[in-house]
Chains A and B, each alone.
Chain A
């Protein structure tokens, strides 16, 4: 009897952020995917976040 699960506010905001980040190309496509995944469960750690912007690291990889 439960209603179809609607999009939660977290998901809506995450999509908007991902869209904006994609527009300004701050992150690569792979990093955007990682961020999207971490947004989904709210588990982005500081290390993860640093690895998104740091150099000489494989894209999407973590420390």
Chain B
């Protein structure tokens, strides 16, 4: 069967400082990549994980930096940027390219990525030594329950929310009921229960229709009534003022008449003007000494004094006259003001009567009463405009206050009624909601339980299957060892937790980490991983084992190689990296493994060029190449054929269980091998199974007899004698090489469809 992967190109990613390319051989299901520590093996596995799983690979398992450390930034090679990273994978299923985006790994195309399963030593520890939760975390990647878990999470959150809603609604309901109880008690606990009392209040209709508000109707009459007192006061003041002015006028008139009478007795009428002219003349003519009319001599100063004295007396009359006129004007004004006040007082009854019209239209008893009171007052006022409205105003205020009190009482009742209506409505609504939320939460809880149970049941079933497979694999690695009985199960009370137990020398259901050796735990981890990958594996699955073998001894390693080569057909491709040369040796010496394995070696890493692959050729290919060349390197080809023949004869004697003398160290010559493979054995048949064609038998002597005749060549080339070497015929060396290759091909054919196995 053709392998899945074709070519992996890694550019500026981790140890790949320069782009490096690994071409996979289509006929090889397994790629064994060997290299010393720190050469870039994990870089290859990380690259495969990045392009297959969009994960950052091995550094994801390592703890460094802090909580906010973005490990993605450590993926580029030294001195390279994230944008330089590029990984390309070609396969028979399609081609993909992985790069580092700003926030995450970008794989294009993003759909139908290969099923990449990468096992590292850290995963083994998490499988076999970690707690159940960590073990589950490793396993859930294989169980692929992400969608179910997402739905389960949503259902769980919904159940919680609905439960919370049910609780909060129940609390609200309880609060509302308590509020109703409190109101019931505050209002005298009438009726049997708070609810029945509330129902009675709500059902009760408003007893009377709320009377109209009289305040707007009374506003204007009250203003007029209030103005009466002020008007009366004003009238009183104006009247006093008028009377005072009138008195002043009388007095002033008398005083004027008296002054006039006194002056008339001493001064002739019309003399005033003459005196004023004379005074003006005398003040002007400072040298005048006699009268300009009669020439009578006078003393000017005396005459001026005399005239001024007379004029003063005559001015007093004038002033009194002016005063009289002023008082007369004041009197006229006071009379007019008084008349205005009188007029305004007279207008009050009419104004009040006009304002009564709205009250007359009202059927309200209080309105009628107020109207009568005002009408009575008007009548009284018309009779006596000095009557004061205080009594009337007091009566109106009393009526208004009485009405306000009644209205307030009615408002309180209304408020209570409305409050009860709201409360009863809230209680009914909360009661309904509470019941509905309780039902919904119950259903959601049940759904969550079903989802959880079914998921666990499924996981348990898968784990039983996987346990069976793990035991099968583990027993193949550890035959005849009294351990096994691996059981994986979901912990009863642990969400997302897997328990692992095993049997150990008669003790059953013990934790393997308590009894197994490190080597056993390693192989157990590998078996669990392979079983998990196999459970969901298909031709799109790539099994990657990143240097997972370290503490396993030779015998177990040999079985592990056999197990991997047996299981490889369950996957699209198996990639194994190792630093152990012995593992590579076992792959080469295991016929089945060697047939399906591509061997790659990584050269030493350096910072400028990163890592590169070294060509690894089969010894048979090298020999075939050497004997095909002209001129023939007789020494090289003879030595190569001889060493390959040693390996083949060792394998045949082992397979046939041929007795050999005990030596230490175990090292036999070709002659000793051929001697041990005696005639009886050589005449036996080599049992070969040619796939698809059934069984064919070939006698061993057919290959060994011709080889025995030419094996001396090995001794000649090994001897190192230049002269002997020169005399050696090329044809004999070529024939020796051909015979060895023929024997090898019979045991280990490289053509897949002719694959043969030693039984």
Chain A residues close to B by CB (< 8 Å): 1-3, 6, 8-10, 12-14, 16-17, 20-21, 24, 26-27, 35, 38-46, 48-50, 52-56
CB neighbours (8 Å) of B92 from chain A are 1
Q: Is the CB of A53 within 8 A of B162?
A: yes
Secondary structure type dominating chain B contacts: helix
Chain B min CB distance to A4 (Å): 9
Q: Is the CB of A49 within 8 A of B446?
A: no
Counting CB contacts under 8 A, is B214 at the interface?
no
Q: How far is the CA of A21 from the CA of B452 in the complex (A)?
A: 12
Find the B residue at minimum CB distance from A50: B158
Q: Is the CB of B146 within 8 A of A42?
A: yes
A–B pairs, 10, beta carbons within 8 Å: A9-B462, A10-B146, A10-B147, A12-B458, A13-B454, A13-B458, A17-B450, A20-B454, A35-B151, A54-B436
Q: Is the CB of A39 within 8 A of B539?
A: no
Interface of chain B residues 239 through 264 with chain A (CB within 8 A): none
Q: How far is the CA of A53 from the CA of B161 in the complex (A)?
A: 11
Find the B residue at minimum CB distance from A11: B147
For B440, give its contact among A21, A38, A55 (CB under 8 Å).
A55
Chain A min CB distance to B524 (Å): 23
Find the A residue at minimum CB distance from B143: A9
Find the A residue at minimum CB distance from B456: A13
CB neighbours (8 Å) of B146 from chain A are 10, 42
Counting CB contacts under 8 A, is B451 at the interface?
yes
CB neighbours (8 Å) of A27 from chain B are 443, 447
Find the A residue at minimum CB distance from B455: A13
Counting CB contacts under 8 A, is B418 at the interface?
no
* Chain B interface extent, by class: 35 or more
Q: Is the CB of A41 within 8 A of B147?
A: yes
Find the B residue at minimum CB distance from A49: B158
Counting CB contacts under 8 A, is B540 at the interface?
yes
Q: Is the CB of B457 within 8 A of A16?
A: yes
Considering residues A49, A52, A54, which has the most beta carbons from chain B within 10 angstroms of its beta carbon? Answer: A49
Chain B residues close to A by CB (< 8 Å): 2, 92-93, 143-148, 150-151, 154-155, 157-159, 161-162, 436, 439-441, 443-444, 446-447, 450-451, 453-455, 457-458, 462, 536, 538-540
For B443, give its contact among A9, A20, A44, A53 (CB under 8 Å).
A53
CB neighbours (8 Å) of A16 from chain B are 454, 457-458
CB neighbours (8 Å) of A9 from chain B are 143-145, 148, 458, 462, 536
Q: A10-B144, A55-B440 are in contact. Are A44 and B458 (CB under 8 A)?
A: no
CB neighbours (8 Å) of A44 from chain B are 150-151, 154-155
CB neighbours (8 Å) of A17 from chain B are 148, 450-451, 454-455
Q: A9-B458, A14-B148 are in contact. Are A46 and B443 (CB under 8 A)?
A: no
Q: A2-B540, A3-B539, A17-B451 are in contact. Are A49 and B147 (CB under 8 A)?
A: no
For B538, give its contact among A6, A13, A35, A45 (CB under 8 Å).
A6
Q: A27-B447, A53-B447 are in contact. Are A1 and B2 (CB under 8 A)?
A: yes
Q: Is the CB of B93 within 8 A of A1?
A: yes
For B151, give its contact among A1, A38, A56 (CB under 8 Å).
A38
Q: Is the CB of B538 within 8 A of A49?
A: no
Chain B min CB distance to A34 (Å): 11
Chain B min CB distance to A37 (Å): 11
Q: A13-B455, A50-B158 are in contact. Are A42 and B436 (CB under 8 A)?
A: no
Q: How far is the CA of A31 from the CA of B147 in the complex (A)?
A: 18
Find the A residue at minimum CB distance from B151: A44
For A26, give its contact among B148, B447, B457 (CB under 8 Å).
B447
CB neighbours (8 Å) of A14 from chain B are 147-148, 151
Task: Identify the 8 closest CB pairs spanning chains A and B, nearest first.
Answer: A42-B147, A49-B158, A53-B440, A10-B147, A42-B150, A55-B436, A44-B154, A50-B158
CB neighbours (8 Å) of B454 from chain A are 13, 16-17, 20
Find the A residue at minimum CB distance from B452: A17
Find the B residue at minimum CB distance from A43: B150
CB neighbours (8 Å) of B162 from chain A are 50, 53-54
Q: Is the CB of A46 within 8 A of B145?
A: no
Q: Is the CB of A20 within 8 A of B450?
A: yes
Find the A residue at minimum CB distance from B444: A53
Chain B min CB distance to A43 (Å): 8
